[in-house]
Amino acid sequence: MCLLVIVGPGLTFGGVSLNRSEHQLFEYIETNRDERHFWEYKVRDFAAKFADLSQAASVIDGELWRYYVERAGVVPALKSMAEREGLRRMSMRNLAEYMLRLWVAPRPKKQRAELPPF
């Protein structure tokens, strides 16, 4: 279960601001166990393929958008939003980054080389 904090007109999950489409999609994923397992696996898989999680987030962003468009054809809540707002491409980057934080263990930070004493 995740914490939802409503702050003004935007929606915030765990300190990450999500747009309405990201919010709707994440709620759909969270409430459908099979979808959640699919996305947990997919996010972890992309995180393992890229050394830089920023690159993984970029790829996941595109995957989430394609998934949103597909699901908007059949899921009533997503379909009504798509009918109201259209299906022009919008960023899913914040949701991608949130999913990475949620489902991927933090990577150890690189240690700085110690400078020799003067």
Phi, psi of 47, deg, nearest 5: -60, -35
Domain boundaries, the chain: 22-103
Q: Considering only CA atoms, which of 42, 88, 41, 37 is closest in space to residue 64?
A: 42
Angle between helices 33-49 and 93-103 (to 10 degrees): 90
Q: What is the DSSP letter of 116?
A: P
What confidence tens digit (pLDDT) does each residue in 63-116 have? 999 999 999 999 999 999 999 988 999 999 999 999 999 999 887 777 777 766
Euclidean distance between CA atoms 13 and 102, whole angstroms: 10
**Which residues, in sequence order, are bridge partners of residue 10?**
7
Long-range Cβ pairs for the range 104-108 (8 Å, 24+):
104/43, 104/44, 104/47, 104/53, 107/53
Give the per-residue pLDDT at 77.
Answer: 92
What confidence tens digit (pLDDT) does each residue in 6-38 have? 444 456 556 778 999 999 999 999 999 999 999
The pTM for the full model equals 0.80
